[in-house]
Structure 1
Amino acid sequence: MSVVEIAPVVKTIDVRRSAAEAFRVFTAEMSAWWPLATHTRAKTAAGEVTTSVTVEPRVGGRIYETLNDGRELDWGEVDVYEPGAHFAMQWTMGRPAEQATLVSVRFAPLSEASCRVTLTHENWERMGEEAAKMRDNYNNGWETVFNQRFGDLAGRI
């Protein structure tokens, strides 16, 4: 059986922050811009509420949400952690590791006080039959989460 390659999701924005500062906002301040009420693993019908998102600042570090009862739900694992330049993570969001997709974010200086941030989300083929649907869902989701929410906090130009 052949695997059909699915195009990555790519989103790019320019922001009024240095590459180092935009990287810090993306990783260390994820709770401030991520839509915790709608885009998490929490089961709101069961009373679960996500209170924060944590990125452990190192290769091999976890990305996880913390619930109101203190439990932690994994989102993925840090693959690349190069402050001011490149951040990448294996993105599972509760799926098995073999279905992980790759989210890579690059920070390219435009000036001392601004940079271009490019998010690439790929390896959809790992998701099997749901791959094309999941890619479309994330294409729309990153528009809100990255372009709007992160862009607003980082100072989109």
Structure 2
Amino acid sequence: MTETAVNRSVVIDAPVEHAFKVFTERFGDFKPREHNLLGAPIAETVFEARAGGSIYDRAEDGTECRWGRVLVYEPPSRVVFSWDIGVQWQIEADTANASEVEVRFVEESPSRTRVELEHRHIDRHGPGWQSLAEAVGNDQGWPLYLDRYVALFG
């Protein structure tokens, strides 16, 4: 049985405040540009760092695709955002069908932070949700995002 949540974690050699700041302020620096629902190449990904903010891609032609909503913003300990992308890799029209991603920043020492990511309630996406869970959990999903995030500290 496929789990309704995907959990991944990484350890960053940085203070918790810096790890949080890089995740939220530089999200577009590690989100794969090839993960694109727009009809043109992505120019930037915007993460509005506040509860009620949006996460969206802006294409080189100026079009935008809002694919997430910031639900909780509690620096430097956690951020929660919606995943408004359905099983057909299109924007989920009904936000009640969206899953959510919680990212926790746990201080292991003054210069070391464990970043715990949980993509949960994937079954809210309805029929076919298992394929979405497998996609975000495989090497081209959250592990790719987190590998690129870790590389920003290298």
TM-score (normalizing by structure 2): 0.89
Q: Residue 5 of structure 1: CA displacement?
A: 8.6
CA–CA separation in structure 2 for the residues paired with 1:57 and 1:142: 20
In the alignment, structure 1 residue 100 sits paired with structure 2 residue 98: yes
In the alignment, structure 1 residue 28 sits paired with structure 2 residue 25: yes
Stretches of structure 2 that go unaligned for 5 or more consecutive residues are 86-90
CA–CA separation in structure 2 for the residues paired with 1:130 and 1:82: 32
TM-score (normalizing by structure 1): 0.87
Q: How does 1:45-56 map to 2 (within 5 A)?
A: 48-56=40-48
Q: Residue 84 of structure 1: CA displacement?
A: 1.1
Contact 1:6 1:123 in 2 (8 A): no
- For 2:114, what is the secondary structure of its paired residue? strand
Q: Residue 40 of structure 1: CA displacement?
A: 2.3
Stretches of structure 1 that go unaligned for 5 or more consecutive residues are none
CA–CA separation in structure 2 for the residues paired with 1:65 and 1:139: 21
Identity of aligned residues (%): 29
Q: Residue 70 of structure 1: CA displacement?
A: 1.5
In the alignment, structure 1 residue 68 sits paired with structure 2 residue 26: no
CA–CA separation in structure 1 for the residues paired with 2:2 and 2:100: 14
Runs of 4+ in 1 over 3 A off after TM superposition: 4-7
| Residue identity matched to 1:117 | V
CA RMSD after TM alignment: 1.6
Correspondence for 1:39 among 35, 38, 56 = 35
CA–CA separation in structure 2 for the residues paired with 1:132 and 1:5: 6
Structure having the larger proportion of residues in helix: 1
Contact 2:81 2:102 in 1 (8 A): yes
